[in-house]
Chains A and B, each alone.
Chain A
Amino acid sequence: MSDDATSPPEPWELMQENIEMLSGGIPWGRRMGFRFTKIEKGHSWGIQPWKERLVGDPDTGVIHGGVLTAFLDNLCGTAASSALSKPRFVATLDLRIDYMRPAEQGRDIIGEAECYHQTRNICFTRAWAYHESRDRVIATAAGAFAINKPRSLDSMRAM
């Protein structure tokens, strides 16, 4: 919580407080069983459980790389918006994924992302996915996010 009781909470504090709603608000994330586990300013952590329906190779039971793309995209986007001092939506501009080793069959994947730089319009992020620690990483990501201008909910629904 903020030291000064009169100042409004920062976006990341609201995100951490409503972390379950944040995970549940992404239909494709929910379908994948993805959830956020922790949010700090400019940082996010999450978990992607192994699920039969996410398998990319039926012979090995390994999860498809495309699941990692969505996982790391979710984490990077949240790290980006949690870095801002005002609540804003961010949109993925680009995302680069490097596959280091296949995920193991049946095991949860853990991930973390950080927003390491921001300008007025853009957040720069990177992320890691692994089973145990960042020493044995499954995939890494680097993503740039555009910070959307503030707009009302009504104008968003009209899009």
Chain B
Amino acid sequence: MAEDMKLTEASRADEVRAFVERTPLAQEMGLRCEVMGDEMTMIMPYQEKLIGNFMIKAIHGGAIGAFLEITSQAQVFLVTEHLLRPPRPINLTIDYLRQGHAKDLYARAEITKMGRRMCSVRAEAWQDERSKPVTTLMAHFMVSGD
């Protein structure tokens, strides 16, 4: 029984990694994920093409938004067993707290409420210190079966 559960978890982590690997936008942005059980960290290595303002070398807010959206999508997919594919977003709010400097970004997402049809997610992206988030996101996703 415990063995079965372990197998399911491992395969869902593989599915999440496969989602990142076969999603063109995630590849374009150079994303990779590290899955540890039901926790996951998404990494966006710095690339010059991600810049939004070349004069101050800041990462584009839209790119950070997309990064957080993909992180949230992957986290919901990771912990929602009945989903056959990553969930679709309903809406999201992004707070830009600090400038995204020309270096790697990390992100984690947390499900604040899992419902039968919808779920609510919070995510944050940081660079040097987790306690100083660059950007946070709140989003809703559809999680009813396809």
User: Which residues in A have some Cβ–Cβ distance to B below 8 Å?
Assistant: 25-31, 52-59, 63-67, 69-74, 89, 91-99, 102, 153, 156-157, 159
Contact A153–B88 (Cβ < 8 Å): no
Q: 18 other contacts beyond A27-B50, A64-B25, A73-B62, with CB at 8 A cut-off?
A: A27-B48, A27-B51, A28-B49, A29-B52, A54-B24, A56-B24, A56-B25, A66-B67, A67-B66, A69-B62, A69-B69, A74-B62, A93-B95, A93-B96, A96-B93, A98-B91, A156-B55, A157-B55
Interface size class of B (residues with CB under 8 A): 35 or more
Given contacts A26-B53, A27-B48, A27-B49, contact A95 B94 (CB under 8 A): yes
Q: Which B residues are in CB contact (< 8 Å) with A97?
A: 65, 91-94
Q: For the complex formed, measure the closest distance between the CB of A114 and the CB atoms of chain B, giving whole angstroms.
A: 18
Distance of A63 Cα from B22 Cα, bound (Å): 14
Q: How many A-B contacts at CB < 8 Å in the complex?
A: 126
Q: Which B residues are in CB contact (< 8 Å) with A95?
A: 61, 65, 93-94, 96
Given contacts A66-B66, A66-B67, A91-B96, contact A28 B50 (CB under 8 A): yes
**One of B52, B67, B86 near A26 (C-beta < 8 A):** B52
Q: For the complex formed, measure the closest distance between the CB of A113 and the CB atoms of chain B, giving whole angstroms.
A: 13
Q: Which B residues are in CB contact (< 8 Å) with A57?
A: 23, 85-86
Q: For the complex formed, measure the closest distance between the CB of B42 and the CB atoms of chain A, giving whole angstroms.
A: 12
Q: For the complex formed, measure the closest distance between the CB of B62 and the CB atoms of chain A, giving whole angstroms.
A: 2
Contact A53–B96 (Cβ < 8 Å): no
Interface hits, B89-105 → A, CB 8 Å? 89-96, 99
Contact B60–A26 (Cβ < 8 Å): yes
Give 16 A-B contacts (CB < 8 Å), ordered by A residue. A26-B51, A26-B52, A52-B24, A53-B25, A53-B27, A56-B25, A57-B85, A58-B24, A64-B69, A65-B69, A66-B63, A73-B62, A94-B93, A95-B94, A97-B93, A102-B88
Q: For the complex formed, measure the closest distance between the CB of A50 and the CB atoms of chain B, giving whole angstroms.
A: 11
Q: For the complex formed, measure the closest distance between the CB of A53 and the CB atoms of chain B, giving whole angstroms.
A: 4
